[in-house]
Every structure is written in structure tokens, then in C-alpha cells.
Amino acid sequence: MLSNQADGDKRRSLHGHWSSRMAFILAVTGSAVGLGNIWKFPYIAGQNGGGAFVLVYLVCVVLIGMPVMMSEILIGRRGRRNPVATMKLLGQEEGSSERWKWVGGMGVLAGILILSYYSVIAGWTLAYIVKSVTGAFAGASAGVVGDEFDSFVSDWRLVALTHTIFMGLAVFVVARGVERGLEQAVRFMVPALLVLMLVLLGYAISSGYFGQGVAFMFTPDFSKLTWGSVLAALGQAFFTLSIGMGAVMAYGAYLPEETSITGASAAVVTADTSIAILAGLAIFPLVFANGLTPGDGPGLVFNTLPLAFGQMAGGVFFSTVFFVLLSFAAWTSAIGLMEPAVAWIVEHFHKTRAQATVGVGLLIWLLGFGSVLSFNVLADTKFLAGTIFDNVDYLTSNIMLPLGGLLIVIFAGWVMCRNSTADELGNSGGLFKAWRILARYVAPIGILLVLINAVR
């Protein structure tokens, strides 16, 4: 494997490199932090008893999320290509098969499909910024807030417009390249996202119900913890880190050799998890302060919280801050979801980055109309898991991402030889051995549990 490592050292990504370790951490954190942290995590925790769920979630992040993320980054850096070409190249180098390229291809496809519906939901956040600024929720009753949401999603033209605007924002950033586009965007948006979160947290602390929110988040009630809750925690840990969809592998291809993969992964996992917990600490006190239910499901953000903001002093300001925060989180995730497909087109078809980005953006935009219409014109057209939106969400979140993560960690832990992985991770005794055990045994078993639960 020495000759392979020599070849690896000479490899340079066609797309450039991150200028620093911090740029990489911000980029992957931006990709990982999205609607899953701020929208999904609080309501899933609310539905599964709060503290007990959070505890299981943290264990899953450390034992499964972390080793899978490290595996994906090391594969990306060693190959220095798009996910499809990287898996093909390393499969050959490690004496296995070039058919591993299909794992990379599945990641690219998953990113396209996820963004096709993610962009639609992200578009809602843009619309809600406007609604917040104009005071649409000020003093509004539950019925008014619900009617506001129903009126918006039932108008496919408005939903399509916000979907289009959001995709345009994502295309703009990705087309500018690694350093001028991705890096400049995350250097601004990720810190801004954190500042906005802290503003909301400050208000939650002053609400008089912060203690109740903390108790709900961190007091374990194991009587409410079911096997389904454990699997939900495992699935959420997997989804929120953006692993299994090619984004982390693509970003890893731009990582300088001297950057520690273990340290960078730990920083990303810590930041991502912290923001998810901060979201809960900011949201639950507001929910309790207004006598609402923390387990209100997906409607927590678009129905419950606008109602809470409408009843509080300064609600117009804080509602606007919240939906700007949500939009930023979605935007940073969207550029990560696009990058694998753009990198593949640039390398495989020898297109310019601008051409590739516009082409991928148009494809995702068109596919997104299936989800746009799922909430209005085609709302009653259901098959398998439900509407078009429901089916794409189920296929990607419950099948493609866990399967992709499983195959990635198997490739890193079992197909790549010890020397290859040690070259990337550093054979520094305990940490490397811990990764090997988790990647070869613990993570695959955990992911298999998610897959079995999804398909049974």
C-alpha cells in the first residue's frame, strides 16, 4: 500500500482545497446543521419523552455517527475525487472491485432527491420570514395561524415560487466554487446561525419557563422510552450529521493532508449536536410559556411556534430571527447536498463548474415540483408511503442514507487495509483502535437496526 499512499499524496482535487481546518469544520457543520436540528430534533424529542431520548441520541451520535463521519471523510480525502470516482478508484486500489462506485452514485442520487423536497420545505421558511416581518402572527389565535399555513401550502404557485427562490440561492453559492463560494458562505452563515440561536436562547431564558424546558430536555423518563424511541434516536443521529449522502465525502476531498480527521470530525459532531440541543432549549420554554404541547410533530415550527411568537412581547422580532435562522440552516445544508453531483459532472463530463451547477440545480428544481404539488393539487394522490413528498422522504431518509452509511463504514473498516486507514487517521494508538472497533462492529450493527426497522 506504500505505492498507493504515494499516489494519494500526489492527488489534488480539481475543485481546490479548504483554506484552513476551520473552513472545513464550518463547511461540514453547515452541511450537517439544517432543518433536522432545528425543526426535527425538538419535536422528535418532545414525542419521545425528552431527556431519555436525548441521552440515547447522544450515545448514538458518539458510537455510530462519529465513526461513520470519520470513514466518509477519510475515503473522500484519500480519493480526492467526486464520490463516484473516489469509490471506484479506492475499490480498485484496495484489491476489491470498481463496483463500489455505485455506493458513491447512490450518495449523489440521495443528495439530489433529498434536496428536491428539502428545498420546498426550506422555501416555506423564506415565506415565513415575510409573514413574520409583516406581523401576520401578532396576537393571532391557533385557528388563524393554522389557516395561514393551510392557505400558503394550498397555493402551489406560492410554494413553487419560494422553492424556486431557495434553489436559486443554493445555485449561486455552489457555482462560485470551493473557496469563493462554499467557504465564503459558511464563514458568514454558520457563525450568524449560532448568534441568532443564542439570541433566541436568551429570550427563552428570560421567559420564566426556561427551567421547565431544561428539565424536559435533560431529566430522563425511561418509562416513556420505547424500542421505537431508541430507533428514532439512532435514525435522527444519522440524518442530522448528513452522513451517507456524499456531502461529507465530497467535502473531505478538499481537506488538506495535515488536518486531523479525528479532530475535525469531533469538532463537527460537537457543533452539530450542540446546535440541536440549543434549539430544544430555545424552543421548549417558549412552547411551555404559552401552554402548548412539545410533541406537536412537524407542525411545531410552522404552527405551534408562530402561535407562541404571536403571544409574546417582541414576537415580531423574535419570529423573524427564528425563521431567518431556519433559512440559513437550510441554505448551508443545501449547498452540501448539491456539491457531490456538481463535482461528479465537472469531473465526468468535463463541464465548467457554473454549467454543472446550473444543470444540477435545474434537475433538482424540476424534481421538486413533485413535492410542491404534494401539499395541494396532488395531496389526495397517495401510494406506498403516501404522497410523492412522503415517498421521496421515506426512500432517502429510511433506506438510502442508512444503506449508504452502512456500505461506507464497511468499506472503510473491512475493505480498506489497515495501512490505508492509518495513513489518513494517524495510527495513534487508542483513538485509531477505537475507530476500528466502532467502524467494523458497532456502527454496522446499529445501522442495520435502523434499516430493519424501516423495511419491516
- What angle (nearest 5°) sits at the alpha carbon of residue 209, between those of residues 208 and 211? 110
Assigned CATH for 2-455? 1.20.1740
Closest residue by Cα to residue 340 from 36, 99, 81, 163: 81
C-alpha cell at 453: 426497522
Angle between helices 156-175 and 353-374 (to 10 degrees): 160
**131 band by pLDDT with thresholds 50, 70 and 90:** very high
pLDDT tens track for 280-330:
888 888 888 877 777 666 667 888 788 888 888 888 998 998 899 889 888
Cβ atoms within 10 Å of 99's Cβ, excluding its own: 10
pLDDT score recorded for residue 219:
83
Burial class (CB in 10 A: 0-12, 13-18, 19+), 442: middle
Cβ atoms within 10 Å of 95's Cβ, excluding its own: 9
Look at residue 18 and tell me whether its pLDDT is greater than 50: yes
Q: Of residues 427 and 286, which shows the higher confidence score?
A: 286
Q: Of residues 86 and 259, which shows the higher confidence score?
A: 86
Look at residue 274 and tell me whether its pLDDT is greater than 80: yes
Please name the helix (run of DSSP H) or strand (run of DSSP E) that holds residue 88, with its range, or none: helix 83-93
**1 band by pLDDT with thresholds 50, 70 and 90:** very low
pLDDT score recorded for residue 151:
93
pLDDT score recorded for residue 3:
35
Closest residue by Cα to residue 352 from 145, 208, 176: 176
Mean pLDDT over 151-167 rounds to 96
Question: What separation in angstroms does the CA of 388 have from each of 35, 116, 188, 356?
Answer: 20, 11, 35, 26
DSSP secondary-structure letter at 400? I
The most confident of the ranges 104-108, 201-205, 401-405 is: 104-108
Look at residue 244 and tell me whether its pLDDT is greater than 50: yes
pLDDT score recorded for residue 12:
67
Instruction: Please give the single-letter amino acid code of residue 92.
Output: Q
pLDDT tens track for 394-415:
888 888 888 999 999 999 999 9
The residue ranges of every structural domain in the chain are: 2-455
Look at residue 97 and tell me whether its pLDDT is greater than 80: yes
Question: What separation in angstroms does the CA of 149 have from each of 139, 299, 350?
Answer: 16, 10, 44
The most confident of the ranges 91-105, 138-152, 248-262 is: 91-105
**Is residue 276 a contact partner of residue 41, using CB atoms and an 8 Å limit?**
yes
**4 band by pLDDT with thresholds 50, 70 and 90:** very low
**Is residue 81 a contact partner of residue 253, using CB atoms and an 8 Å limit?**
yes
